[in-house]
Amino acid sequence: MHRKFENICVVGLGYIGLPTASLLATKGYKVHGVDVSPKVVETINRGNIHIVEPGLDILVKSAVQSGNLKAGLEPIESDVFIIAVPTPFKEGKRPDLSYVESATRVITSYLKPGNLVILESTSPVGTSDEVVAEIIKDSGFTIGEDVFVAHCPERVLPGRILIELVENDRVVGGVDELSTQLAIEFYETFVSGEVLAATAKTAEMVKLTENSFRDVNIAFANELSMICDREGISVWDVISLANRHPRVNILNPGPGVGGHCIAVDPWFIVDRSPEESQLIRTAREVNDRKPEWVIERVRNKAAKFKKPVIGCLGLAFKADVDDLRESPAVEIVERLIEEKLGDILICEPMIASHPHYDLSSLENVLKNSDILVLLVDHKPFKKIKPTMVSEKILIDTRGVIR
Ligand code: SAJ
């Protein structure tokens, strides 16, 4: 295949940047990955990884061994620059674009005419035009003539990143038409899904919409779980029966919404359109309040004992991953410990040890707990039968033990 671009520089080697960089390297591109952490750079250059994702270890090893993937602390001159840095929120739930700004500034010294700059980080509407293109323009380039800028939001699901990176449809929005066209041509060289054209602002909004859609729908399920609890009926029965309607498809309630994306991105919409985003804001608040609701239920049950043993099943932010960041399960366990509600036992089968907590086996937790709080629907927990816990008080936030 004729390719316009050969050398790719990926800035940010985290959950999106590293899989993208290694995939491109195995597709024959010469890839230079950049990260601010010397430890990350060294790890990758040894062919190892610093994050856990199925299949990523093998992909990175072969990318590094082929000589096509190298990591460094600084960018190098390239044809395409991909920015894949975090976009968290700061105080007041306002987007923190400092990583995008500094990544863009860093690459400007290495840009040359003909280059394509792609922002993959989830960003508030307007970021590609008003931040990325603006910084590049300020350093003397004419956008759409010398340097091309596009937004192509990542949409991969942790746990399935390597599959979804290739198979998902992608939305590509340039700050002008030529930028869109060039970015589409680039993505079509390694994506098997469809690559769809948009403007930069539309592409930014599409990404925020996807995660807000999921957040709003999870909030609906979480709200139902609290209503059904008050009514003394099983929300799981209600949802599975309601979902038999051909046009109803309710998601699953849980202890709250974790991870770096769904609990963050909707705020980017609220920040820019506070008046118009009442539903999106309320959904965020419903999901953010859910851990407190779970804690309150544990408190009520614990009050019946002198010093109960409370067994907590799961710490991860969702099923079958080892990622504990922004996890509602961790928030709940921390509070139970802080409030000294009892002796806390924790089982997290996805990790071998934890810096602050002693971890127990599932067997130990099941045997010794008075109150069992199921927080994550990991596969091993799905094997627990109701008869195995019939003597315990069960608070099953994921509807696993039924
Ligand atoms: N959750 C529920 N009930 C559900 C589904 C999820 O409580 O029915 C909870 C999970 O337990 C977890 C949180 O929501 O705490 C988020 O999990 P998730 O699997 O919905 O999503 P993430 O954060 O792993 O990945 C999302 C994905 N977005 C969508 O599905 C619209 C992914 O495609 C994005 O690329 C990713 O955000 C991102 O990086 O933006």
pLDDT of 187: 98
| Structure confidence by residue, pLDDT tens digits, 66-94 | 999 999 999 999 999 999 999 999 999 99
pLDDT of 140: 97
Q: Which residue's CA is the closest to the ligand 1 atom numbered 38?
A: 261
Q: Rounded CA gap, 400 and 402, in Å?
A: 6
3: confidence class by pLDDT, cuts 50, 70, 90:
low
pLDDT of 53: 87
1: confidence class by pLDDT, cuts 50, 70, 90:
very low
Show the ligand 1 pocket: residues with CB < 6 angstroms.
122, 154-158, 210-211, 214, 218, 251-252, 254, 257-259, 261-262, 317-318
Beta strand pairing call for 148-151 and 170-174: antiparallel
Q: Rounded CA gap, 315 and 317, in Å?
A: 7
Query: For residue 207, is pLDDT > 50?
Result: yes
| Structure confidence by residue, pLDDT tens digits, 4-41 | 899 999 999 999 999 999 999 999 999 999 999 999 99
pLDDT of 389: 96
Q: Please classify residue 89 by burial: count the beta carbons closer than 10 Å to its beta carbon, then call 0-12 exposed, 13-18 middle and 19+ buried.
A: middle
Which among 87, 204, 212, 214 is the best mutation to test ligand 1's pocket, defined by most ligand atoms within 8 Å of the CB? Answer: 214
Rounded mean pLDDT of the chain? 96
pLDDT of 4: 82
Closest CA to 25 of 45, 39, 40: 45
- Ligand 1 center from residue 179 Cα (angstroms): 30
Average pLDDT estimate for 334-350: 97
Q: Rounded CA gap, 168 and 388, in Å?
A: 41
Average pLDDT estimate for 262-282: 98
Active site residues: 207, 261
Residue whose token pair is 């890839």: 31
Closest CA to 116 of 198, 190, 172, 193: 172
| Residue 124: both structure tokens together | 């508030």
**What is the number of the ligand 1 atom nearest to the C-alpha of 211?**
31
Q: Which residue's CA is the closest to the ligand 1 atom numbered 28?
A: 211
Query: For residue 42, is pLDDT > 70?
Result: yes
